[in-house]
Structure 1
């Protein structure tokens, strides 16, 4: 991440943020995965505590990066050699609704 930033390039595949409990956490945007509400069993927790981002600015930054990464995925960009075919999975999920 630092290498890209030092080269003057944006690093949109990861977002590091300080959570409300003052711990830093990394959002691996490059690893986002399509899902529908049908497959959500419960809220996400860390150590039994619900993950909640209360900063609207942080939410907007993550959403902006996610849109940019999604655009790259639509163009066929792969971030890792073992990355699943996100677009095929998204298409299948939409067909099942």
Structure 2
């Protein structure tokens, strides 16, 4: 998981010429729950990989640019 803002999104995600669409509400909720869990761990300073970038610093810089 890596923070971005809308300005960095150029186009829709396409696989083999097909637009990737999330159609299941259950799957969307599951992704949101996992994202909140990861963000909580990052806020507490828990590193998930040894080479992990400083996600919280990147998020802060993106918020400053708004």
TM-score range, shorter chain: over 0.9
* Bigger share in helix: 2
Mark the structure with the bigger radius of gyration: 1
The residue that corresponds to 2:3 in the other structure is 34
SS of the residue 1:68 aligns to: helix
TM-score between both structures, scaled by the size of structure 2: 0.94
- Normalization by structure 1: what TM-score? 0.66
Question: Corresponding residue for 1:3?
Answer: none
Instruction: Tell me the equivalent position of 2:16.
Output: 47
| Superposition RMSD in Å | 0.7
Determine which structure has greater relative contact order: mean sequence separation of CA pairs < 8 Å that are 6+ residues apart, divided by chain length: 2
Name the structure where strand makes up a greater proportion of residues.
1
